[in-house]
Amino acid sequence: MHEPRLSEALPELLREGLLTPEQAERIKARYQTGSEQAGNRQLLVFAILGSLLVGLGIILIIAHNWDDLSRPLRTLLAFAPVLLGQVLVWYTLRHKPTVTGWREGSAVLLACGLCACVALISQIYHISGELSGYLLTCSLLMVPLLYIPGSYVVSLGYLAMVTWYGTLARVDHWNSGELPWPALLLLAGAVPFYLQRARTQGGSIGFWWLSLFMALALGSVAQLFYRDWSALHMVAMVALAAAYTLVPWLHSDRTLRTWPWVLVGASTQLCIFFAFSFREVWREMMEEMDRGIGEDAIPLTLVLATGAAIYAITAQRRRILERWPYPEGFLLFVVAFVVALVSPAAAAILMNLALLGMGVVTVRHGIEQGSLKRMNLGLAVLSLTILMRFFDTDLSFVLRGLVFIGIGAGFLYMNLRLVRQRQRHGNTH
């Protein structure tokens, strides 16, 4: 049966008296806004893709005839994409300052032009160097584009480039002990941009992605200042992960899309807990403790203090185990670390109990909130904790098969129960 469009249905509803003129206008404005937003998103995607294709096309055309050109001409052509990008940015700021597609597209073209120009100038004049130096130079040149014109896509590329640079700089100079301090300063340069976007566009999908890349970049760079690894280093990582999961309590605006911080922190904490549910992992890490922490004392103290301070600040705004159990996971890991100083086996048992407790709490939250995703996450934690014990226990295949059947049946039962519960509530309301 043909269903009428909104434009056809509204006049009929008005004639029948089912809607007032004011209600019809509000409905019409609501769906017009939705269609405009969809059009703006499509324009943004095509603007970014178009800018990338134009930039790549220019580079390919120049590269085809590169060897036949003189050095001055090659130098001029190397700067051509940069000049084109700057002209487009100027035009955007002058004539299209509120159009997202123009802002993102011009900034992406200029960023690609800058990266290509640095590479071409190095090749023309035979300037030698490492990849980390190239990434550092490009990152420095891209900093202004975060603010003028201000681009989400460029900011994501910038954060990825800074993380890549920091990792390469640390790995390439591991024996010399050189630390990637410029990476930390470059991340600090993106913080004002992040805070400005949080105030003005904190509920947008662009800010969601910016939060994800910022969380990954900060977490990765923070690990580059250690010279060794021991159980205490893992305590610091769990502290940082717990601080990530507390970010939503650091601001009062509940519409701010800071969920990626929780996602990164919770994933990191669960991975560490699963790894340390094995006794051998604790034993090997505690052996590293005998060598001392040496020069890592300062970064370890800073990370641990940050995690503890954020937990203390947010303790006045949240209840224990509210929404998710990961902040309290930091305290459980500290207890397990202290126990491991005496008995690594007992610490592994505590980790398994902690995982089971976190799974139960997550399942309970999912049932209370009617969330299938959260409940299944808790069931996955419980199931994986049980399944991982297959690797350090000698169980028969029959018993293992029964465990698999029990876990599968549990998943089916809990999902059916929650679906029926949601249906009953829906019928009640």
* Domain spans in the chain, listed from the N-terminal domain onward: 38-125, 129-225, 229-394
What DSSP line would sit under 265-283, residue for residue? HHHHHHHHHHHTTSHHHHH
Give the pLDDT score at 39.
Answer: 46
Q: Where are the alpha helices (DSSP H) in 255-371?
A: 259-275, 279-289, 297-314, 326-340, 344-369
DSSP 8-state symbol, 429: -
Residues near 235 by Cβ (< 8 Å), separated by ≥ 6?
304, 333, 334, 337
Residue 256 has a CB neighbour count (10 Å cut-off) of 19
Give the tokens for residue 129: 């160097």
Cα–Cα distance, 115 to 119 (Å, whole number): 6
10-residue mean pLDDT series, the chain (429 residues): 54 70 65 47 62 67 66 84 89 86 85 88 86 93 90 93 94 80 94 94 91 96 86 91 94 87 96 93 82 79 92 90 91 93 92 91 87 88 86 69 75 77 61
Give the pLDDT score at 216.
Answer: 96
Give the pLDDT score at 232.
Answer: 87
Nearest to 161 by CA among 201, 198, 122, 118: 118
To 10 degrees, the CA torsion angle through 142, 148, 150, 156?
Answer: 0
Phi and psi angles of residue 389, each rounded to the nearest 5 degrees, phi first? -75, -10
Q: Are 403 and 411 in contact (CB under 8 A)?
A: no
Give the pLDDT score at 347.
Answer: 94
Give the pLDDT score at 165.
Answer: 96
What DSSP line would sit under 183-245, residue for residue? HHHHHHHHHHHHHHHHHHHTTSHHHHHHHHHHHHHHHHHHGGG-SS--HHHHHHHHHHHHHHH
Give the tokens for residue 337: 């670390």
Give the pLDDT score at 53.
Answer: 73
Cα–Cα distance, 41 to 31 (Å, whole number): 15
Residue 116 has a CB neighbour count (10 Å cut-off) of 22
Give the tokens for residue 144: 């202004």
Give the pLDDT score at 351.
Answer: 93
Give the tokens for residue 369: 């909130």
Give this prediction's pTM: 0.82
3-state SS, residue 178:
coil
Q: Provide the CA 50 distance to its chain's centre, in angstroms.
A: 26
Give the pLDDT score at 172.
Answer: 83
Q: Are 224 and 187 in contact (CB under 8 A)?
A: no
Its sign, for the CA torsion 204, 206, 210, 213, is positive
Give the pLDDT score at 1.
Answer: 39
Cα–Cα distance, 270 to 332 (Å, whole number): 12
